Structure 1
Amino acid sequence: MSRTNDRLLLVDGRLVPGAGGAFETINPATEEVLGTAADASADDMDRAIAAARRAFDETGWATGHAFRARCLRQLREGLRRRADELRELTIKEVGAPRFLTFGAQLDAPVDDLAWFADLVDDYGWERDLGRAEPMGMPSHRRVVREAVGVVGAITPWNFPHQINLAKLGPALAAGNTVVLKPAPDTPWCAAVLGEVIAEETDFPPGVVNVVTSSDHALGAQLTQDPRVDLVSFTGSTATGRNVMASAAGTLKRVFLELGGKSAFVVLDDADLRAACSYAAFAGITHAGQGCAITTRILVPRERHDEAVEITARALAKLGAGDPQDDRTICGPVISARQRERIEGYLEQAVKDGGAFACGGGRPEGRDRGFWIEPTLITGLTNDSRAAREEIFGPVLVILPHDGDDDAVRIANDSPYGLSGAVHGGDVERARGVARRLRTGTVSVNGGVWYGADVPFGGYKQSGIGREMGVAGFEEYLETKAIAEGV
């Protein structure tokens, strides 16, 4: 792997510079320039798509199940060998707290590649339907599953390893070839994948292509190109709409994992201190930069003030800290642009009648880097902007409810439906509330749904399809029926 401060594209099996030169990647905690990444042009993307198309159409990749599983295991081992290097890179480029790199920011998604490799070996690629005589014609029927073709994967910056590998793992396991277009904010996390694939695995040229670029619009090329069969996109709902509209021209399949404004429901029989303290921790982890993070806290009205006090105290104690520190939960936000966007929501919350029980600005003593204090907003209703729109920062809104039915009503009164949480003393009651939430994932009393075997995705405007698990794997498969005369 390259040890320089420059990273290259992976196109057709070769590590190459970008035709657009190079662009800088920045440490969001310090504003230090870490180095450069290759800046791809439209011509680079065209070559990557052509390579992926050729690798799918002209090699045995799609049908070589055992070979694909071996390549995925090689990728996992190559990434694991570089775990220390990747950990430091992730902390610096993403601003991810160190503790998260031992979970969803690095180690977990790397290890999850083994699950998809095993699935290749175990999956029922063909199902025999037996003999029948439709319309009096004796036939033997079977159903086979096979790869869709060329996948365009467009990924965001907040959990780059997790999301890059959550697309590459199942897409490659299913027999597809891939062009990965990562976010400009975190190009190195993706470029390292290209280096490991090129230098430490047997992936044939063109099966995986990694195209970094400072131009967000380059992803549109994937959505419009007729040589691309499926687009897998994770990002904002607004951009997801554009992806869907752009892909409609060629009627390609789309997978969309989009925004969220998830509710953390505290029932009246819950341990209020434990529940609100956990809500504070969960809501500002990685500075709240996660689509499934629970950012609306719903508490019993009669205990609202007590809940505000507990939550605010927990947030103030957690604070915002250096992501290199093992104790840090909330690091910086990714960029000056994102910080300004969050500050716009904070200003609007005050105009809408809200107040800050804690936070509300930039932490003292941090003149460099992109920082926002952990913030709790009170005094708003569920129809305010801060309660309805995805802020993507360490900002929580606390709202009162009048019992289980009202809590479910408020939680579901959202254009999103990605995740949620319920805390209560009676587990059966809490589970019943969880089943009524119109979301793709729900945590009950701190349960963790994340895992390679668990499908992830949302209802309503939180997306289309599922990622991870068998359901996520099958997003990358076609179904073919074959009937033979007998």
Structure 2
Amino acid sequence: MTILPDANLYIDGKIRPATGGKTYDVLGPWTGEVVTKAADATAADVEEAIVAARRAFDHTDWATNHAKRYELVKKLRDLIKANNARMVEIARHEAGAAIGAVFAAHVNNAVDGMDALIDLFPEVKWEEDRGRKSAMGGKYVSDRTVVYEAIGVAAAITPWNVPLYVNLGKVIAGLLAGCTMILKPAPNTPSAAAILGELALEAGFPAGVFNVVLSEDPAMAGEMLTKDPRVDLITFTGSTLVGKKIMENGAQTLKRVFLELGGKSANIILDDAPNFAMAVASSMVVFHAGQGCAITTRVLIPRSRYAEACAILEQAYAGFADKWGNFEQPTSIMGPVISKKQMERVMSYIELGQKEGARLLAGGHARPDKGGGYFIEPTCFVDVTNDMRIAQEEIFGPVLVVIPYEDDEDAIRIANDTTYGLSGMVQGSPERAAHIAKRLRTGSVSVNGGMCIAGDLPFGGFKGSGVGREWGREGIEEFLESKVIAVGVPA
């Protein structure tokens, strides 16, 4: 018996099943049982979405009527807020979010971010006077204007970890910019996308402006969207491996591609951190079972206080033992991982860490006693060196690695010694911590608890963590092209 309503396609202004009526079962992470059935799109359905989005961009005023877009997106925003209870149920049952995580990253932060993008829209420049200038000895004089316009059809390919948050970050920004959109969510979390199609229809969006394609096949629709010349832009959040494939596919038609990829972010705790014990204890990787690309999964501890920190962590993990994995617990921030496949992947890394010689301080086991879903204990490895795979590769589960360092320079070296560069933290005396933060090769850094990730700030990474930025005004501008118009005037 399903818990959530069926998830359907939204193509060319219509909510409908897939061609042929095929569906697939979506399993809930808490139970391992079916929570909803989703329409399983065919290649013909994806083709129809591309045709609809192309037509809506080329033959309507969506891209040029800024006021119309603004009002419709605000109406969509209001409907999303009015359906908050549905959003919460989707996040809990489909993404496996604990209640404490739902009312943070999954729903509330998603809505706050959406509000921020809408509030920033009036700041976007659509035309900029670059002044009059002469050239070639004054023979030619021009009045120059730079015009900013929507790039065209944009496809958003989104992950399963915080689906509503990522869906809104891409879709709202793209729609505000004037692009027409095709949203292709992860197979595990179709409902967080399907509901946006339902609400767009209710809001009165023109046909083809926004489309939602669901598919059990993780690659079919993405392959079509990333290779089709009628799609102008791809925005993707997910693994670095898949991001490379998308960039390769997009290169065939010279698409604009922007990618928000993996992370192995470092939390540097200095010996003069204002509350050293609290800083160490709060470094546990437990929020949403560690399924977040920007979570700091490496904690760097000064060797002079390393034994003290290990003792603090051991006590913190012991105290957390009965505070996770309960569907009804209002304060819980950790539930299961998303799927059996992900559980097996995380457990393989836990096994690898022990083989590499790291010491298992806490956790390390699957917990079938928690229910029929995909539960892994909060896990902590100490005595880790930064060359170990558990320190270099994104595990995407509730696994923290603890690495000692000698001095500030050593901490900076270790933090930057990774193929990733998404986020980070520094905790210590303000001037010293800020100096270190400026030397980290990451897209965002929190110093002493500062909120470096918010809807009005650009988010993205260096190196293998991605290309481009989303959220903030910069996130809207990623969907724009610039055009120079120079009008000759008499010299």
TMscore range, shorter length: over 0.9
The correspondence of residues 63-78 of structure 1 with structure 2, limited to 5 A, is 63-78=64-79
Separation in 2, partners of 1:166, 1:86: 15
Aligned to 2:213: 211
Which has the larger displacement, 294-303 or 316-325? 316-325
CA contact (8 A) 1:256 1:464 kept: yes
Give the aligned residue type for 2:13.
G
Q: RMSD value over aligned CA atoms? A: 1.3
Give how far 1:7 is off: 1.7
Given candidates 329, 335, 343, the residue that maps to 2:333 is: 329
Give how far 1:14 is off: 0.2
The correspondence of residues 78-157 of structure 1 with structure 2, limited to 5 A, is 78-135=79-136, 136-157=139-160
CA contact (8 A) 1:376 1:395 kept: yes
Separation in 2, partners of 1:230, 1:216: 19
The normalised TM-score by structure 1 is: 0.96
CA contact (8 A) 1:316 1:359 kept: no
Aligned to 2:393: 389
Given candidates 163, 166, 173, the residue that maps to 2:166 is: 163
Summarize deviations over 1:135-161 as a string: whole Å, max 9, x none.
Answer: 221221100100000001000000101
Separation in 1, partners of 2:69, 2:115: 12
Give the aligned residue type for 2:301.
V
Give how far 1:4 is off: 6.8
Aligned to 1:297: 299
Aligned to 1:278: 282
The correspondence of residues 470-485 of structure 1 with structure 2, limited to 5 A, is 470-485=473-488
Separation in 2, partners of 1:118, 1:181: 26
Query: After the TM superposition, which parts of structure 1 deviate over 4 Å for at least 4 consecutive aligned residues?
Result: none
CA contact (8 A) 1:284 1:394 kept: yes
CA contact (8 A) 2:30 2:371 kept: no
The normalised TM-score by structure 2 is: 0.95
Indicate how the Cα distance of structure 1 residues 448 and 119 shifts in structure 2: closer, same or farther if over 3 A, else same.
closer
The answer to whether structure 1 residue 377 and structure 2 residue 381 are counterparts is yes
Summarize deviations over 1:86-137 as a string: whole Å, max 9, x none.
Answer: 1122111111121222222112222433332333333221111222222221
Q: Specify every segment of 5 or more residues in structure 1 that has no aligned partner in the other structure, as ranges.
A: none
CA contact (8 A) 1:69 1:118 kept: no
CA contact (8 A) 2:368 2:375 kept: no
Give how far 1:367 is off: 4.1
Separation in 1, partners of 2:334, 2:88: 17
Counterpart secondary structure, 2:365: coil
Give how far 1:363 is off: 3.1
Give the aligned residue type for 2:62.
W
Separation in 2, partners of 1:122, 1:303: 47
Which has the larger displacement, 104-113 or 263-272? 104-113
Q: Specify every segment of 5 or more residues in structure 2 that has no aligned partner in the other structure, as ranges.
A: none
Aligned to 1:9: 9
Counterpart secondary structure, 1:192: helix
Give the aligned residue type for 1:7.
A
Counterpart secondary structure, 1:439: coil
The answer to whether structure 1 residue 18 and structure 2 residue 18 are counterparts is yes
Identity %: 50
CA contact (8 A) 2:226 2:249 kept: yes
Summarize deviations over 1:54-92 as a string: whole Å, max 9, x none.
Answer: 000000000010111111111111011111121122111
Give how far 1:25 is off: 1.3
Give the aligned residue type for 1:372.
I
Which has the larger displacement, 12-21 or 360-369? 360-369
The correspondence of residues 248-267 of structure 1 with structure 2, limited to 5 A, is 248-267=251-270
